[in-house]
Structure 1
């Protein structure tokens, strides 16, 4: 939905424009009477308006910083002055000031796109940081090409995906593959070094039988912990017990012994729901279970979670570029080589030895080898706009096994637990389309 003026108007000063914005907002009143469809359409336009106002604010912040208004007010610096004026914390104000300065001193394409509401300030932060990390020796045209490419990508993806694309920014400057890989590796190493420096753990005894803690760890370590906790808390751990209970009940009633997939799923969720806990509580208990089962009697150097890592064979040998994890995270190739020495990583090396990936009707479930193969293609669940990482997915047969479908790689559709349930839900229609090698699943609720 696009909102455009009915007729052109003369330009306003910034002060007059802001007064009109407030006046219009006052006239808008509440949004309680807005229909659901209208609300969904307006969200995007509201985000665009917010981005344009933030762009104006950043321009003003840069002006204030140049004039050293903070010194006139007797404050330590512009960040402190801004924190006081915007009633925010010093770290957030300093981050805003850095972006305002970067946009004022260059990044004209980014500044214009933000001013039009075509990207968010978080996108702009990523672009500013990426341009800071570019190697010396690039000329003005190359830097402009990189910025234009990043702005174009930012209009299609979220800041996390943009950050990944930015690591390979030299591709937009037509640099050779080795140089692109080396720059990506340098950026990842720099991120990992800063992450390690920021790592800390604090524990406080509450003297009531609990300990409260706070930690900051590198993303890789956090992803490993997150994956282990989710696996421990997963309702699928209840499947075996649910099946046993359901079979016992069926036997008492003289019913059949075997359960259908839908009956087993319902029994699993029924047992899972009996805990009556919030997800935070489930994760907390999973964390306790993890801590209580750590191998403290013989600590090893092995990573205590199985993570699928994908990288090109040549990059593995050279130790340059990035390796991709099935949690959606990237690590440097050199770190992947180090971690591969432990038992916690399953490597998917492109160009390496192949494995049998098509099983026909000989096997009901997809294998680990097939899962590794699909990790090269998918970062997330195959459902449209689902950002749950590939590591969370289950493999659905595009042609159902129950009607003769084969367990071949081409038939696999990775779906998170939620969308796997939706694809079997008669209340929804779905369509599977191909986008290059990847499949995309679109859901529509039946009326």
Structure 2
């Protein structure tokens, strides 16, 4: 056992001993100091952890842990909530290797020093890095270095929010007239982020728009977010823009419109997206699927109007919205099975899966089939899971499974690569599982991330099994539905 491995073993033992102790016998001053010392050590270990991550990245050691990318390693093995931000901190604070092999100085050496000393934490680091990213490219190296030094000094006494406020003053000092900021800076700082859905299935959209995008959005809001326009609570509200609306009808709709400006902006954005999805702007196909809303629900959910439905892009919709959208569609029902005209078996006749095959796969998997992968179905490829196409695999629905691009490319014969096999028993029977080539053949792992509802139902049955006198309920079938203003496809699994 190496010294470093032995020290980590000793550290884990020491942590267990500390966790078993209490501070009951100490006075208040000592208790407070113990808390300070504890969190100082935690911050110091954040710096050491960055060094470990850099070592994993430099040596591609994430593959030995069964991860295809370093980001996946941070997310699944290190349980880091925001892996990309974590990698950005590593790249800014640690000495990276140049193309010639020598170590470079950290981009933010003073911030790295304070983190290693435990005087600042990761939130302070991210606040400093956010300010540094906003410094114009035209600012010279010496001024940039001085700004980082000042920010690192501020971080030892200020909160992350106060660092951001101080950063505004520093940016104003570096570019008082705003003449240094150019198109490169605006292009570097543009962003639009869609947050996760909360308990009410609502999502937060945050954006930093460049001037052209802002000007275009202003034009859209001026027309589509006008009072009375695109009001979902008013059946007589004009849709689209008010250029073609009857002036009298628009005036009456505006008088009935009690929405705030923010709500009108939201509804205008919804109308704009609806026009793009259903106006042919997105083309006829995306990865073999129609570029429209596709959801997976069971007939029991439709019947009971309960639970939520998962879309192919990874969003959740309340069943009430599912019913509302389905009512607005022009329904055409096509149940894809071996008794219909939809071909699900192509053999060697073609390599790419058909739309029907992808809809069937969505009903079964909901997303990438690789365990712990969060990629939604709309961003996956159809993987020849039984036998690779190059090795004679068949393009038949029972022999394929969805896989995101990076995991599809991770399948192969090398020791660090993966294999896929069909699971033959248990709750995942019929689905394909994944295992590393160095794992025993029986260690197949299915992905449950996209099928949380099934796990909850299974757990509910285990905790509260049905009464033996009652007959077993009919299993609910799973469907895929595509809408609106297009054929409504229903695929039963």
Normalising by structure 2, we get a TM-score of 0.35
**Larger Rg computed on CA atoms:** 2
Comparing both structures, which one devotes a greater share of its residues to helix? 1
TM-score (norm 1): 0.38
